[in-house]
Structure 1
Amino acid sequence: MNLLGIHFNVRNDETMKPDFKFIENIRKKYPFFLLASGYVRSAEDAEKLFEAGADMVGIADPTRDDPEYIAKIAGQIRKR
């Protein structure tokens, strides 16, 4: 089985948001499985990463304070 994927932490410390443009640019150049993370703080951030070309979105920091955070974001995405 040949699998290839890569993870990018695309946090932008100036905007405190993910760098959506970086994911768009990587997706245009490479067909591999793409996991993006970094400053994902809302369902909107996650959706924008998916729209930019991410196959999977990683969420870490907010889950330390709220173990249900990922379920909440997933629920918000499903409702849209």
Structure 2
Amino acid sequence: MRAARDDHPLRQTPLRQFDATNRALDQAGIRYGVIDLTGEAKAMDYVQSLGYRQVPVVVIEECRHRAGSQPGKIATLR
């Protein structure tokens, strides 16, 4: 799955915050793709280059991103 704006919550192993973010994206009708950081060294390096040390990370385009579960802000992505 790939969103029109490339919204990608990045993850490592199943987490409640990740699941909450995915549910909020689903409820908002936003298509997204998931990248599991466990086996993706390049993706992990990218997330760390953005300054993040926690997941989930949501990347919207190249210039907008955020970390942590913030389901209340998902609707603003539309």
TM-score of the alignment, normalized to the shorter chain, above 0.5: no
Give the TM-score, by structure 1 length: 0.30
Give the TM-score, by structure 2 length: 0.30
The structure with more radius of gyration: 1
